Every structure is written in C-alpha cells, then in structure tokens.
Structure 1
Amino acid sequence: MVSDNTITLTNSTTNIPEFLLQGFPGLPEQYYVLLGTFFFLIYLVLAIGNIFIIVFVAYEKSLQKPTYIIFCNLAVADFGFGTTTLPRIISKYWMSDKKMSFNACFTQMYFVHFLGATTSFLLALMALDRFIAICNPLRYTALIKNSTIAVLCSVVWIANLLQLSAITAQALSVTYCGPNLIIQCYCDHFSVTKLACADISAIKTTSFVVALLVLWGPLIFIIFSYVSIIISVMKISSKEGRYKTFSTCTPQLFIICLYYLPRTFIYLSNTFGLALGTDTRIMLTMMHSLFPALINPFIYCFRTKEIKETLMKKIKQGQVRVDGKKSFVQGK
C-alpha cells in the first residue's frame, strides 16, 4: 500500500509526478479554514497596498523620483512574491489541496527565490539612496538620477533572473524518486532539494555561495551604509535636525531588520542543523517572507512625508471637487 504522504516510483531514474505540501504539521484540521481565511486577508491587504503604491507613484508626476522608483520596484517584487505563494497556501487550507505537480513546484521555487533575491538587492539600493542623500547630499542629484536608478533596478532584476535560472537548473539535474513530502507551506530550495535521490553536496555548496551573495552581500553593505548614516546624523548640532534626518531612514531600517534577521536565523539553523521545531521554523519562514511585503505600503504611505502629503492633497482636492459639484447643483 502506498502512503498518502509519500509516492515512490519503481523506476528510480524518473522524477516523481507531484509533491505534497505539509504546511503546519501541528495544526488541527478544525483550524484550517480559519488559517486559510487569515492568509486570504493577508493577501488581500498585501495586493491592494502594493498595487496602490505602484499606481500612485506612476500616476503622480511629483513622486517620480529615484527613491520612489525603488519603492515601486520593491512593491512589484512584494506583490509578485505574495501572488506566487499565498494563493497556493489558501487553497491548501480552504480546500485541503496539498498536491502540487513536479513542474509547478519547481516553478514556484524559482519565483520564490528570484523575487526574494531581488528584494534583497532592492533593499541595498534603498540603503545606497539614503547613504548618499545623508552622507553626501551635495552630490546626490548628480549621482542619483531617475535614469541611474532605472538602470540599477533593471540590472538587479536581470541578474537575479539569470542567477536563479542556473540554480533551478542545477536542482532539476538530479532525480526525485521519493519521498515527496515538503515540510513547508510552499516549495523552497532547501525543502525540495533535500528530497533528491542523489548526492546533493554540489547543490549545497552552490546554495551556500549564492546565499552569501544574495543575503549577506547586501546586508553587509546595508550595515556599512547605516553605520555611516548614524555617524553623519550624530554630527548634526541641532537635535531637531538629527531627528528629522534620521526619521527618513527609520522605515527602511525597520523593514531591513524584519527581512534579514529571521531569514539569517533560518538559514543558519538549516546550514548547521540547529534544533528548531517544525512549526516554529515554518512560522519564522512565513514571517520573513510575508510581513515585509504586507507592511511596506503602510510604512511608505504613513511614514514617508512626501507620499503622505501628496496623498492628503489629492484627498482634499477630491473633497473640494465633490463639494463644488454639490454647490453647483444646489445653486442650479
């Protein structure tokens, strides 16, 4: 008899046809609908917030500046990541659909890491933007232009597109003959490749090198840039000036901590085999995957002064138009 959770093929040279997503193994079934609803609400807010940022900045000419171009690229990556993962998670908990075809799983794995890597480098670009704006403000307009940021963002997207294509192709080069149970809410490189029926030492080495490049490379630069920013801010004689200058960085700094700290902890625990409960590991993975994408639009709308002021101006203009039409109709 073949187990519901494992598919084993007699031909070991043939890949298994599908994977099974386990999700949170300790969650009782009576809470599946509730958890699915929770993820649905997260996706709804995430999608609306990030689409709003993209459309608002694209529509409002006054916001088409380097900083907001980076915001838009980050919103695209966040919306893409949420769309790649959340509908499948919702389907699992609403309709008990835990099966995922072999090709669909690898496609999801590709986009999960492609969009994650792109986000990492976009956060580094945000840090670069703030670093030059605060530490070298006189040269900011000469160094940071819309065209420069557009080129850098394009390089980030294309480089990660090619890099993750190579990583995915390497993962596909080995055979997956069973077991096929993925102990995660979505297909990721670590969870999938450990199911391979072959020696994956070369894959692990490549994964480690790429993690150094994608995760810790931008993080080291971000740490350097913010240390430099803090030093420059502390040299400002006015307390109000220090607060005003540093407040422009706090939203990005918060997102950076939320993105990198859990991700680094999970990666180190995977690499060195640290004891970590399955539900805890999955919860941390979902936190660093979805929370930044969920709260980014709120931080940029309510903590970024220029976006907030532009949004309030548009709302007031809309109210004036409505009141004007009412007055015209009543006068008529």
Structure 2
Amino acid sequence: MLTFNRTGYQPTVFLLVGIPGLESAHIWISIPFFLVYLLALMGNIALLLIVKSDPKLHEPMYLFLCMLSLVDLMLTSSTIPKILSLFWFNDREIYFEACLTQMYFIHSLSTMESGFILAMAFDRYVAICRPLRHSSILTPAVIIGLGLAIVLRGVILLSPHPFLLRWLSYCPTNIISHTYCEFMALIKLVCDKIKIRQAYSLIVAFLTGGLDFILIICSYVLILLTVFHLPSKTSRLKTLSTCVSHVWVILVFYTPAFFSFLTHRFGHHIAPRIHIFIANIYLLIPPMMNPIIYGVKTKRIREGFFKMLTIKSA
C-alpha cells in the first residue's frame, strides 16, 4: 500500500523478500538461524550472570565485555525474530515506521558494539603499556563514562537516519529484497536525489566503525612495540596471550562488517543472495561467538559456566 504526502509516495507497509532465489529453502535456512540465535541468547545471558556473580571478574575488560553482551542481545532480538517469522510463516509485512525503527536499532547498536570493542582495546593497551597505572586510569567512574559516551555516540549519530528516510519520496514499490530493514536496501527504493544522505551515511560510518578500527590498530601497534621490548620470550608470549580473545572478537566483528560494506559499494556484479548472506552473518555470528571466545579462553568464565550447569542439574 502506498500513501501520498507532501514529498511524494511512501509505502505504509514494506514487504520483505527474504533471500531472493532461495524462497523455497527458507525453512531449511531458518534452522541454522534459529540455532545461532538460541546460542547467542544463552551465551550472552550466561556471560552476564557469570561476571555478575564473580567479584574477581569485575575488571574493566569484563565490564566492557558485559556491555558488549547487552548490545549483542538487543541487536539480535531486534532482527532475528522477524527474520524467523518470515522464514517460518511467510510473514513478509513490516510497517513503514517499524522498518525505520528496526534499521535505526541495527545501525545504532552496531556502532555501540564497535565502540565497546575499541574500549576493550584501550583496556589492553593500558594493561600492557601502562600496567602500574591501569587501576588509576580505568577507574569505575571512567568505565561508566566511557560506556555512556559509546552509547550516546550510537544514539546521536544515527538518530538522523530514520528522519532522512522518513521524508523521502519512494518509487511505486514496497518490496525490500532483504531479510530485514537495512539502510542500503531502503535507499534502493528511493526516487529522490540521495547524494547528500549517502554522504552523511559514509561520514557516520567513518566516524564510528572506520575510526574505531584505526584506533584499535594503533593500540595494537603500541602493544606489540611494548611486548617486543620485554626481556624474555616467555614473558612476551604470556603478555600476548592476554590479547588473544580480544583479537578474535575484533576479527569476528570487523571481517563480515567490511565484507558487507565492500560488497555494497563495489560488488555490483555479486549475486544479491551473497549480499544478503553476508549481511546476516554480520548480525548473527559476532553475538554468538563473543561469549564462546571468552568462555574458551578465560578459565574463570569457563568454570563459572560449568558451575551454572552443575547448579541447574542438581
């Protein structure tokens, strides 16, 4: 359905296609989606409970990890239930305002996720390069302040996006070739000139994920320089081992994010289903993998998880 306002046509309801060309396989595709979502929910909730119950884990790294887990829970819960509804019940309809809201949550929460990964990199930098000042630099007040700043950055910088899309004139179609309301998928339906809006989107992307990634690389360059000056190979390996989990989290988050960005900008000859699969991996895999990575690499989290299982089975 289309409505007319002062700027032109706007859909009242959008229709999500899912994965073009694979509609007949949606039920089968939904199985790994559901399992990954279930693992993400259980893993992140368990991680939050373990850190909360163990005072020895009330360190900056794990407090930032808890903030990351909260964002992951909100990110997956704002998208995956609707995707599963589409796959299971062919529930393709999503209201215009709900679509803009979902798009805002996806990009705002992804920005926060990037910010918390940067905060964790800062913690590793201070712990390795300024170990004697770690507790005096990363005080509880500083941790709370950084957390609030990261949240406010995501909220404020992404707030114009729904309004920019709300007042645009759309072509006479309401079909979104995607599994959820993504910014680039919506832009393709717009008939107005969108260069300024695309420029704003690129600037925001650089000031958030792009700048975060540059700062993370800089922090690890400084960490490596410090580690290489340590006197023994054993101490170097021991120090680097404290960064392994965080490096995996960086790779899991930024690899699909960059692939998704590059395929949208330069992969015009790539099949649409590949674009959509990469975009879904970007939403699904990091929230599932983050608690697994820290559970495997951190002994206290691993022990806390087994303790929770023992209590529940008792």
Same fold (TM over 0.5): yes
Question: After the TM superposition, which residues 115-154 of structure 1 pair with which residues of structure 2 at under 5 Å, given as runs?
Answer: 115-154=109-148
Choose the corresponding residue for 2:252, options 231, 253, 258. Answer: 258
Is 1:249 the counterpart of 2:243? The answer is yes
Instruction: Tell me: CA distance 1:146–1:307, structure 2 relative to 1, closer, same or farther (3 Å).
Output: farther
Q: CA RMSD in A?
A: 2.2
Instruction: Tell me: CA distance 1:183–1:315, structure 2 relative to 1, closer, same or farther (3 Å).
Output: closer
**Does structure 2 conserve the Cα–Cα contact (< 8 Å) formed by 1:16 and 1:177?**
no
| Counterpart secondary structure, 2:10 | coil
Q: 2: distance between equivalents of 1:65 and 1:317? A: 25
Shift of 1:13: 2.3
Choose the corresponding residue for 2:219, options 225, 241, 246. Answer: 225
Shift of 1:8: 5.6
Say which one has the larger Rg: 1
The residue aligned with 2:18 is 23
Is 1:113 the counterpart of 2:81? The answer is no
Q: 1: distance between equivalents of 2:236 and 2:180? A: 43
**Does structure 2 conserve the Cα–Cα contact (< 8 Å) formed by 1:248 and 1:304?**
no
Instruction: Tell me: CA distance 1:21–1:138, structure 2 relative to 1, closer, same or farther (3 Å).
Output: same
**Does structure 1 conserve the Cα–Cα contact (< 8 Å) formed by 2:9 and 2:172?**
no
Q: 1: distance between equivalents of 2:278 and 2:14? A: 22
**Does structure 2 conserve the Cα–Cα contact (< 8 Å) formed by 1:37 and 1:90?**
no
Shift of 1:96: 0.9
Instruction: Tell me: CA distance 1:108–1:317, structure 2 relative to 1, closer, same or farther (3 Å).
Output: closer
Q: 2: distance between equivalents of 1:310 and 1:8? A: 53
Scaled by the length of structure 2, the TM-score of the pair is 0.92
Percentage of matched positions with identical amino acids: 33
Is 1:198 the counterpart of 2:192? The answer is yes
Which amino acid in 2 is paired with 1:237?
P
The residue aligned with 1:328 is none
Which amino acid in 1 is paired with 2:233?
K
Is 1:236 the counterpart of 2:230? The answer is yes
| Counterpart secondary structure, 1:15 | strand
Shift of 1:241: 1.9
Choose the corresponding residue for 1:60, options 36, 54, 71. Answer: 54
Q: 1: distance between equivalents of 2:79 and 2:32? A: 14
Deviations 1:235-255 (A, max 9, x none): 223222222211111111112
Q: 2: distance between equivalents of 1:28 and 1:161? A: 35
Which amino acid in 2 is paired with 1:25?
P
Q: 2: distance between equivalents of 1:274 and 1:14? A: 27
Q: Mind listing any 5+ residue stretches in structure 2 that lack a counterpart?
A: none
Q: 2: distance between equivalents of 1:317 and 1:288? A: 33
Which amino acid in 2 is paired with 1:171?
L
Q: 1: distance between equivalents of 2:217 and 2:150? A: 19
Is 1:267 the counterpart of 2:261? The answer is yes
Is 1:48 the counterpart of 2:42? The answer is yes
Choose the corresponding residue for 1:13, options 8, 11, 33. Answer: 8
Q: 2: distance between equivalents of 1:251 and 1:158? A: 26
Shift of 1:310: 4.9
Instruction: Tell me: CA distance 1:252–1:262, structure 2 relative to 1, closer, same or farther (3 Å).
Output: same
Is 1:37 the counterpart of 2:21? The answer is no
Q: 2: distance between equivalents of 1:81 and 1:243? A: 35
Instruction: Tell me: CA distance 1:103–1:236, structure 2 relative to 1, closer, same or farther (3 Å).
Output: same
Choose the corresponding residue for 1:171, options 165, 172, 175. Answer: 165
Q: Mind listing any 5+ residue stretches in structure 1 that lack a counterpart?
A: 1-6, 323-332
Shift of 1:42: 1.3
